[in-house]
A and B are shown apart, each in its own frame.
Chain A
Amino acid sequence: MTILSPIDLRDAATIVAVANTPIFLAKRMRELPAAQRARELFTPEQLFGALEQLVLRKPTSHDQVVEPFFYLSVLALHNQGVLLRKASELSAPNLRWFAEVAAYYYAAARPTSLVSVGVPLATPPAAQSASLSPKLILPSSVANSAPRILRATQ
């Protein structure tokens, strides 16, 4: 039995059965309360690991069709872009619309954190001196044509 055995998949089964388009399936599946509960129970790594196996299986029941899509929707709720990209690259020859649903989830994934990285400005060697007064360094072509007021202050 799969790792999701404690989860009631009846509503998920109906969604898969009545879906006319992959986007409908993707959106409705992700909105299920069961998917929200499963998100609390299973890590993204567990879900992706199960998906890797399930996409290779040829379904022999409707439940076996439903499971991978449910796993995928729970993975989408974790919003892990890297694993969603990997899921979208899985080959699922026996699951109609798996690629489309995975691509939809991956496209919808948003970054969960932003990191600011400070990049110090490099100081030219010529400007490194004991003087505390800042100097305006101009290229010679510009300095020679600079107005007189600049030459007077240099």
Chain B
Amino acid sequence: MFDPTLTADATQTLALQTRKGGPIINFMNPIEPHDGIHLEVQRLRARYTKATHRNVGPSARYNCHGLTFAARRTGISDPAQIARILRDDGYEKLSFGTAPSPGDIAIYQEDGDIIHSGLVVELRGDTPRVLGKWGDCHEVIHDVRDCPYGTAAVAYYRLSR
């Protein structure tokens, strides 16, 4: 629960729940990113030239999972929390070979860790384009594997109701 008595630079936790009322552990860091993060954003823009780099961020208030599941209000870093959200909220995993459509969720998983997530925003041919937050950096719309997390296994989930 957000605590207004804490100092302005203190990390906060918001009251966040799944559809079944399960609490979601989260962190919201309001500190402005250090100057070095802006340099990292520039490096990422130079490296991933096919991506659309949004002028949103950098920010430590939320991460990719916070964008995907918490409307950019806070960050979620525990893979168990993501798994709980997917289960409790009723997300259905698309079967292999089923093409995702805009609005679906892309989940990047590696050795049991959910290292990235994002929203499918369009399909370019057979390649989904995903809107994601890259850590403390900015938001990027990128081909599903054209990102720092591209070596992970990617699965798509859909909320049907």
Contact = CB atoms under 8 A, between A and B. Distances in A.
A22 B111 CA distance: 13
A107 B44 CA distance: 32
Interface stretch (B28-36, B86-94, B95-103, B153-161): B28-36
B35 A24 contact: no
Contacts of A19: 135
B40 A14 contact: yes
A97 B134 contact: no
A59 B37 CA distance: 13
Contacts of B39: 13, 62
Contacts of B77: 20-22, 97
B40 A61 contact: no
B85 interface: no
A52 B47 CA distance: 35
Interface of B: 11, 27, 29, 33-37, 39-41, 43-44, 58, 60, 63-65, 77-79, 110-111, 113-117, 133-137, 148-149
A132 to B, nearest CB: 61
Interface residues of A, number: 22
Nearest to B135: A18
A142 to B, nearest CB: 54
Given A14-B40, A18-B135, A96-B29, A24 B113 contact: yes
B29 A20 contact: no
Contact of A17 (B11, B78, B110, B137): B137
Nearest to B64: A20
Interface string A17-41: 1111111100100000000000000
Main secondary structure of the interface of B (DSSP, over half): mixed
B11 A20 contact: no
B34 A62 contact: yes
Contacts of B116: 20
A80 to B, nearest CB: 23
Interface in A97-146: 97
Contact of A61 (B34, B78, B115): B34
B113 A18 contact: no
A76 interface: no
23 contacts: A13-B36, A14-B44, A17-B40, A17-B137, A18-B40, A20-B64, A20-B65, A20-B116, A20-B117, A20-B149, A21-B113, A21-B115, A23-B111, A23-B113, A24-B110, A24-B113, A27-B111, A59-B34, A61-B36, A62-B39, A62-B40, A96-B11, A96-B60
Question: What are the 10 A-B residue pairs with the smallest beta carbon separation, nearest first?
Answer: A62-B36, A17-B40, A18-B135, A23-B113, A62-B34, A24-B115, A20-B63, A18-B148, A20-B64, A18-B134
A106 to B, nearest CB: 17
Given A16-B135, A20-B64, A65-B34, 18 more contacts: A13-B40, A14-B40, A17-B40, A17-B58, A17-B136, A17-B137, A18-B136, A20-B65, A20-B115, A20-B116, A20-B134, A22-B77, A23-B79, A23-B111, A27-B111, A27-B113, A62-B39, A96-B11
